[in-house]
Amino acid sequence: MKRKTKMMWTAAALSVSLLAGCSGNNSAATSTPKKESANTASAQGTTQTSQVIEPHKGLNQPPVPIKMERTGPHDVNVEMTAQITDIEIDKGKIYKAWTFNGQAPGPLVVVNEGDTIHFTLKNMDPAIPHSMDFHAVHAAPSKDFASIQPNETGTFSYPANNPGVFMYHCGTSPVLAHIANGMHGTIIVKPKNGYPTDKSIDREFVLIQNEWYKYNDMNDFANGVPSHVVFSTKALKPGEPNTNGDTFTLKEHPLVAKVGDHIRIYVNNVGPNEVSSFHVVGTVLDDVYLDGNPANHLKGLQTVMLPASGGAVVEFTVTRPGNYPIVTHQFNHAQKGAVAILKVTETGEDDGKATMGH
Ligand SMILES: [Cu+2]
């Protein structure tokens, strides 16, 4: 790795896998909270105060950093919150999201294949029960993914024995409402023996795709089409950006690489409803590991199909300087925001020039 990062957002220390065998507190900060208050949010955006459910009116809980601590060679404590936090999903449009830790998608969780996750969920929502369903683990959902009542805390343990890029989400009924309101995210389980291409990777990023609908509108969630389809990125290392799923941040603050870099992206489509036709304009995906499992190795893909919840590790080389749009090739969704820019420069640093749309 020859990555040099710029401090664009507040640092986040995320990968407990880096702490294997030692114990230490590895908490992550989130992106800089938006300045809008709930009042200005309702004035600026389409989220009308009248639509906000009564117990959430005026509520905008500041993001609480995730806590991750490795307590043994194969044991990781993860503490997260369920909380109500305003997210700017489009310029000036605030969504009073149901979130994990005040981010939507929630904070990235990284563990090692073979770890046992000791998970604690603190429900800060004054009104609604929430829960956690990690796709990466083997568990009894009725017990291990049980709902935590408002203002209560619950703890669960389960093994993460399969490597890959997995979705997590709140599994409280109606699940569609909890996911569509923002309670989703990504957990990476690092393969015990790595990926065959590990040695040649120069830079790696995380990209998550999600959709937004009308605020807390069950009919729109079930029968409508998304108003916004968006990408976000999450930090793999301290100092890398954490962003929420919005239409503009990854255009204004692109991912940055150097000419010749071999790039890896951990990508996850958290839906809730749509599939992603993940595509990087200007290159071919030389190596793809479906769901991030090294056994699912494909070569030379133009586009990788990610079902709702699906993940992948995709790798490619950038041979020429310029801006490479990363899209879902379902262009109705790209038009609604699902474009991120990878800026490739001779130096590997952002040259500050504006990026183009797509
Ligand atoms: Cu929930």
Question: Does 170 carry a binding-site annotation?
Answer: yes
Counting residues of the chain whose pLDDT is more than 90, the rounded percentage is: 83
Tell me the fold of 11-190. Answer: Immunoglobulin-like (2.60.40)
Cβ atoms of 258 and 281 within 8 Å: the answer is: no
Q: Is residue 125's pLDDT more than 80?
A: yes
C-alpha separations of 76 from 68, 71, 226 in Å: 7, 6, 36
User: Is 183 flagged in the annotation as binding?
Assistant: yes
Please, where in the chain does CATH 2.60.40.420 lie?
11-190, 198-345
Q: Tens digit of pLDDT for each residue in 275-327? A: 999 999 999 999 999 999 999 999 999 999 999 999 999 999 999 999 999 99
Write the CB contacts of 298 (distance below 8 Å, at least 6 apart in sequence): 287, 288, 289, 290, 304
> Is 262 marked within a binding site?
no
The Cα–Cα gap between 94 and 97 comes to: 9
CA of 171 to the centre of ligand 1 (A): 6
329 is annotated as contributing to ligand binding: yes
Lowest mean pLDDT of 16-20, 68-72, 138-142, 348-352, name the range. Answer: 16-20
Task: Give the separation between CA 308 and CA 298, rounded to whole angstroms.
Answer: 20
In this prediction, residue 265 carries a pLDDT of: 98
pLDDT tens-digit readout, 79-114: 999 999 999 999 999 999 999 999 999 999 999 999
The mean pLDDT value for 324-347 works out to 97
Report d(CA 15, CA 19) in Å as an integer: 8
Q: Residues 39-73: pLDDT tens digits?
A: 333 334 444 444 799 999 999 999 999 999 999 99
Bridge partners (DSSP) of residue 265 are: 205, 314
Which of the four pLDDT bands, split at 50, 70 and 90, describes residue 358?
low
pLDDT on residue 215: 96
Ligand 1 centroid – CA 59 distance (Å)? 16
Confidence of residue 353 (pLDDT cuts 50, 70, 90): confident
Give the CA angle between residues 122, 167, 289 to the nearest 5°. 150
CA of 182 relative to ligand 1 center, distance in Å:
9
Q: Give the pLDDT band of residue 356 (cuts 50, 70, 90).
A: low
Going by CATH, does the domain composed of 198-345 fall within 2.60.40.420? yes
Residue 147 DSSP SS3: coil
Which residues, chain by chain, have CB under 5 Å from ion ligand 1? 130, 170, 172, 178, 183
Whether 135 has a binding-site annotation, put simply, is yes
